[in-house]
Structure 1
Amino acid sequence: MNQTTEEFFHDFRQDLLASSISGDNFQLYNFMENISKNLIDCGVIEGFELCHYRGKAGKLALRVDGFGFTDDGVLNLFIADFDSRSELASLTKTDIDSIFKKITQFASVNIQDTFYDGLDETSPEYGLSRQLYDRKENIRKINFYIFSERTLSSQVKNIEDIFQDNIISSFHIWDMSRLHRQASSQGQKESIEIDLIDLFGTGLPCLPAHMGGDALESYLVVIPGNILSSIYEKYDASLLEQNVRCFLQAKGSVNKGIKSTILNEPDMFFAYNNGITATAKKIITRGTDKGLLITAISDLQIVNGGQTTASLFHTQRKEKVSLDKVFVQMKLSIVDQSKSEEFVPKISEYANTQNRVNAADFFSNHPFHIKIQEFSRKIWAPAKQGELRETKWFYERARGQYANELTNMNQKEQGEFKSQNPKNQMFTKTDLAKFENVWDEHPKWVNLGAQKNFTQYASRIAQEWKSKSEHFNEYYFKRAISRGIIFQCTEKLVSSQDWYNGGYRANIVAYTLAFLSECCKKIEMDINYDKVWKEQSISNGMINTLKLLSSHVNKILLSPSQGISNISEWAKKEACWEEIKRTVGVIVPQISKEFKNELILLSVSESEAKDAKKRQKIDAGIHAQKEVIKITNQEWKDIAQKGLAEKSLTEKEIVLLQLALSIPQKIPNETQSKLLLDIIKKVK
């Protein structure tokens, strides 16, 4: 059943009201965080920090509701068009001009002058104002965003970019219609449409490199360096497939070899550089007397060569050099949207073989994510106190899965699905990474933003999966959900405290939970996750402990070390965490006996985890045995023949296949069954 924008708006509003604590202010917080999380998950923006400011500079009205800096000189500034409206209204050109005027004036005033001198040093607006002034020489582009609860008037077509004082100003509106389209797009992000003729007056010479049949439509392309740099400048990191962007964030530097070639031997760039690998949804070509030209590309995504692309742009900008002699080879594959989840990870994995951590580890079809999804679809969470129905925690391993489940249901079926899978119990890969990393890794990763934190989490999980996949079992899933419950409760708790000034909530929450973990370790105890899981809530003892710890953490965050003026930056430093950890001995005696009595011994917690691994090993073995027995004798013959013909089998594997061919007279044991399933994957 297809949903209208009007229906989407009312559902959005109900979700907002349900997640708000009280008052319009909290609704505004949730409104901004709801949309920003959506845009982070689909790769439109990299991060978001709340910063609600209303003020004046002389007669100029200034306003901002959030911000985010990227590693490559882009600043995103956000402003809300929100009045808790009960009906869907129209957002007119006059409204847009008025809203954008306030936020552009905020940026201009803060870049030009030390506006922060008149602000409270502990406030989020001080941190943003100080960063704007201090980093103005490195800002190359500002994206201004309006998040609106209205729907954009059809009279508004587009708003042109402005180039002034070496800074590009670009304007974006995310209204209810656009959010609805995004939610209805089968989890796909908005397509990048590049008209090469319109932008550059020329197409790209190419050679078809596909043979028909089942092969993907592919092309070998030569792309001038200045065109590739210009495309990157226009579309920023959204040009890079999201997982490649994660790698770039982790590296964060211009490749010295690429820079040297551009500066010293630009005409040899094509010969020296490996080029880039990219995908597109479709292309438009035109035959000429000089050969085939690509004239337009729909949804261009670079899956390998992100550093080459970014290095070209940054070297051109910083060194003021010409790229006229620089040419880059590009392998371009046309991938249909319905097949993108199958093929894009493989293209990226094989193109990125030089990386120690494969890009495929980040994709939604990695076995880890599939396993978590399986648990989320079959494990029922106990009913909360006062409620009769059990529910599920819905894991969205691929963006848009929750909405897709509802697509072909009638109203009654949708109501039943939402009752079993409440929207506030839907969580994503980046949510899972937050829930886990504050306890298991280091809070600094969470403080660096959703994508960087997920990169770290994915890297760790990929390595653990290879050596001990049985670690990811039902116990792991239930513990992760319990941590998620604690995380979400802490977010609401912090927002409702008298001392909370409206900023740095993400930092406070991350450090509070990491600090709670440290306090438990100090007394050789652990959280009783089984209790949290069974009650689907946290106790009064834990609530009071979180109040104590979060207030303490907030004081340390607002008192940065000497020489550090920016609290956001202070929160990302190792020294901040060390300062918090130093106070464990002071805080532990202040924690109530009520809470300490509900903890369990660390040794008991470790024992439970070991028992869960053993059970998972046994379950996995039984499952493998069942799968192997299902396979017909003819299928085993085909697998053996193909493996032998391609000479891809070891002697041990040949012996195992002979055993499989004797089913049902002889039945492989659990270990042999696992190995046989691996052989099938290898041969396929």
Structure 2
Amino acid sequence: MDGLEEFHQQFQTDIMGTATSEGALQEESFFELVGDMLNEAGEIDTPSWSRHEGEWKRRRKEDAKTLTKSIAVTGYSIGTENEDSTLSLILVDFRYSDTVRSMGVADIKILFGKLVEFLRAARSEEFRDAIEETSDGAILCDLIWRKWSQIEKIKLIIATTASTTTKADAYSAGEVDGKSVTYNVWDLKRLRKYVEQGQAREDLVIDLEKDFGGSIPILKAFGGDAALESYLAVINGDQLANIYNKWGARLLESNVRSFLQARGNVNRGIRDTIVKEPHMFLPYNNGITATADAVTISKTDDGLVLSSVENLQIVNGGQTTASLHAAMKTASEQLKNVYVQMKLNIVPKEVAEDVVPKISEYANTQNKVNAADFFSNHPFHIRMEEFSRKIYAPAGENGFQDTKWFYERARGQYADARGNKTPAERKKFDGTYPRSGFFTKTDLAKYENSFRCEPHIVSLGAQKNFANFAKSIGTRWGKDGVSFDETWYKRLVSKAIVFRATEKLVSAAAETWYEGGYRANIVTYGIAKVVSDVTEMNKAIDLDRVWRLQRNLASLEAALDIACCEAQEVILNPVAGMRHIGEWAKKEACWKALKERELEYPEEFLDALVDPEYVRSVAQEARADSDLTKDLIGESWVIEVGADFWQDVLNWGANKKALSPMDDRVLSICAAIPSKIPSAHQAKTALRCLEKLKGLGYTHMALEAGE
């Protein structure tokens, strides 16, 4: 079985399993999964489900002949990280098959034809009047009609579980009413690359010579022993804006994309310079820092020129790039006189995961970007990853063995860890890390912000919610993130258990109160409502018990059923003047409307709540136990490393005149081991002194061997 066939089977199994457990359509589960990938890759903004399929009668202008056309759409996205300017229409094609399906160019054209016809129908007043006004299709048509004057670009996206021969990726397809249209295909091969490698941009080859006005002068800026190839260049503002116009936020490294989403709109200072002093842009602006997989550089009589770039990622200067793009509308002539300096680093794919975030972080330091914006390598993420690899979850009431949850800090970790094993090893891995315990950083942000009573933020979509969470972690982390300990991690898993159980609860309520649709919003709102009400009672949900049982509590489930039913009522009935339900759910006013409603919860739920002080005391005791363990390990190491080591530390520190009288006395005791044994307090002092000296440059083989 080849890799694509194996991925196809696992991918289908995951989608169908999710659909079954959540009571959703397989097509809907596929859309949610692909929508998150497209959002994370920068292809689209927040995706929304809006399925419509049927026919419409279109009258041709040239001969007034009526044609019957098939139309279809599964969902949409409208907007970019800064402004509502791009409309993306998405059509998914999920069909179960025992083997990998093949799809030719003609089949893809048929699917794109259905999307194009839906767009035409949406702009037809006759069609809008005929369609059922409360249907998803009618609401989407109304949105397109109202936003049409703001829309500048249209993306048509096909996502399919078939393998295709087409390479349509930002492929130009002409214009509709002066708005450029592009085709994009995400087939099984491309989905596999993204899931397993985080590679969504295999076709992002920027041909400057052919498509963007010509090559640009470039200067080699690395020596023979340099770890990475580096270049310096100056690119015309009009060129950079047009490159961004085609590829959009996919040019921005994911951390920079999150940074822009978390901040405001186009920078006014940059805009004013473009409009009023374009010739001064180069002196005033810091330029951009970028990475690439590969470049094509030619030698001319005037020096080196850059003619093409493969997988360009802007790691610093996203605001500059977006501002130049925005100026295309109002200052296109001035852009031709704008020049931007660019530092370009060639980063091999095998080291990109570690190197690119660091380049991004260090390059953005001058702009006071919080370290949490560079989140994959933030200490918070690394700590959560470490916890997930070492902490066993209890087997629970119905389990047979303890298992671990798998936290995927960076895209592809789970596939890598599972894929590089023999069948026997993979079976063991699956037993330790069941697929049901897999979660990503955007999942984590969704769970946390739901329990922090921010359902309107969660409803903004995976990436915008994640950016909000990143900002809060930057504030809450402090010096060493001491509060984010093992207890915090266990309670995070408990929140994941509650969240996923609530998803199933809502789907199962189709026979009672659930009307279908907007389940994601209902779930986060329902959880936030229960947490908010419990907090108002000065009580807390017993998440520690959820961890021990590895399941949701029956009493909590009863309360969530009530809250989610009420959440649906609020979400499906927007305030006057706001027709689109998905947009209403993103508003703080929607959360306020639910929060202010009074609900009556079952007695068994109220009886199962715990005192907040008890919750705090459990965390404090666990932290004290952990500190005690660390102290004991530290004391043991101080003795085990021996007298010779401490004598060397003492001599080095004395030579550097870096020891206080107290340091000297304690290190002298340690240097006399075993005739003298340092007390627990003295061992701590010795370790603190050692850390100080290490900061001054002290090294020793014993440190490399075991500290």
Whether these two folds match at TM > 0.5 is yes
More deviation in 393-402 or 142-151?
Answer: 142-151
Is 1:520 matched with 2:510? no
Match of 2:73 among 40, 58, 64: 64
Task: Give yes or no for the alignment of 1:182 onto 2:194.
Answer: yes
Checking the alignment, whether the CA contact within 8 Å between 1:433 and 1:457 is kept in structure 2 is: yes
Name the counterpart of 2:586.
572
Match of 2:256 in 1: 244
Per the TM alignment, residue 628 of structure 1 is displaced from its structure 2 partner at its CA by 8.3
Q: Does 1:611 align with 2:621?
A: yes
Deviations 1:262-309 (A, max 9, x none): 111111111111111111222221111111111221221111110110
User: Aligned residue pairs: how many?
Assistant: 674
CA distance change for structure 1 residues 265 and 153 in 2, over 3 Å: closer, same or farther?
closer
| Residue of structure 1 equivalent to 2:605 | 595
Cα distance in 1 for partners of 2:657, 2:77 equals 52
Shift of 1:25: 5.5
Tell me the distance in 1 between the aligned counterparts of 2:568 and 2:578.
Answer: 16
Matches of 2:614 and 2:200, distance apart in 1: 45
SS, match of residue 401 in structure 2: coil
Note closer, same or farther for the CA distance 1:580–1:172 as it changes in structure 2 (3 Å cut).
same
Out of 432, 456, 459, the residue aligned to residue 447 of structure 1 is 459
Deviation, structure 1 residue 153: 3.9
Offset of 1:55 from its aligned partner?
Answer: 3.4
Q: Compared with structure 1, are the counterparts of its residues 123 and 512 closer, same or farther at alpha carbon in structure 2 (3 Å cutoff)?
A: farther
Letter in 2 for 1:67: Y
Match of 2:469 in 1: 457
Map of 2:359 onto structure 1: 347
Change (3 A) 1:470 1:122: farther
User: Identity rate of aligned residues, in percent?
Assistant: 37
Structure of higher RCO (CA pairs closer than 8 Å, 6+ residues apart): 1
**1:152 alignment counterpart:** 164
Deviates more, 1:57-66 or 1:553-562: 57-66
Aligned partners of 2:156 and 2:601: how far apart in 1?
A: 45
- 1:28 aligns to what? 27
Which one-letter code corresponds to 1:593 in the other structure?
E
Task: Map Cα deviations across residues 389-429 of structure 1 (whole Å, 9 max, x no partner).
Answer: 22110001111111111232111111111121112211111
Choose the corresponding residue for 1:209, options 221, 240, 248.
Answer: 221
1:446-469 deviation digits (Å, cap 9, x = unpaired) = 111111111111121122222461
- Judge conservation of contact 1:621–1:673 (CA < 8 Å) in 2: no
**Does the 8 Å CA contact 1:541/1:594 hold for their aligned counterparts?**
yes
Larger radius of gyration: 2
Please give the per-residue CA displacement for 1:50-74, whole angstroms capped at 9, x wherever unaligned.
Answer: 2222233333332211222233412
Q: Which residue of 2 aligns with 1:51?
A: 50
- Which moved further from structure 2: 341-350 or 423-432? 341-350
Distance 2:292 2:337 in 1: 26
Post-superposition CA distance 1:296-329 (Å, at most 9, x none): 2122111111011000011112444441111000
Change in 2 beyond 3 A, CA 1:70/1:598: same
Which range moved further: 126-135 or 280-289? 126-135
Deviations 1:68-95 (A, max 9, x none): 2233412222112123333322112232
Distance 1:658 1:223 in 2: 63
2:548 to 526, 534, 537: 534
Corresponding residue SS for 2:608: coil
Of residues 654-663 and 258-267 in structure 1, the stretch that sits farther from structure 2 once superposed is 654-663
SS at match of 1:538: coil
Question: Structure 1 pair 661/5, CA: closer, same or farther in 2 (3 Å)?
Answer: farther
Deviation per CA, 1:341-384: give whole Å up to 9, x if none: 33323322222124444256433222111111111011111224
User: What pairs up with 1:133-532 in 2 under 5 angstroms?
Assistant: 133-153=145-165, 160-185=172-197, 187-191=198-202, 192-359=204-371, 361-440=373-452, 442-467=454-479, 469-498=481-510, 499-532=513-546
In the alignment, the residues of structure 1 paired with residue 315 and residue 639 of structure 2 have an alpha-carbon distance, to the nearest angstrom, of 39
Task: Report the alpha carbon displacement of residue 42 of structure 1 after superposing the two structures with TM.
Answer: 4.4
Bigger Cα displacement from structure 2, 507-516 vs 49-58 = 49-58
Q: Is the 8 A contact 2:289 2:363 kept in 1?
A: yes
5+ residue gaps, structure 1, are none
**Match of residue 14 from structure 2:** 15
Cα gap change, 1:323/1:57 in structure 2, threshold over 3 Å: closer, same or farther? same
The SS at the match of 2:309 is strand
Aligned-pair distance for 1:242? Answer: 0.7
Q: Is there any run of 5+ residues in structure 2 with no aligned partner, and where?
A: 58-67, 699-707
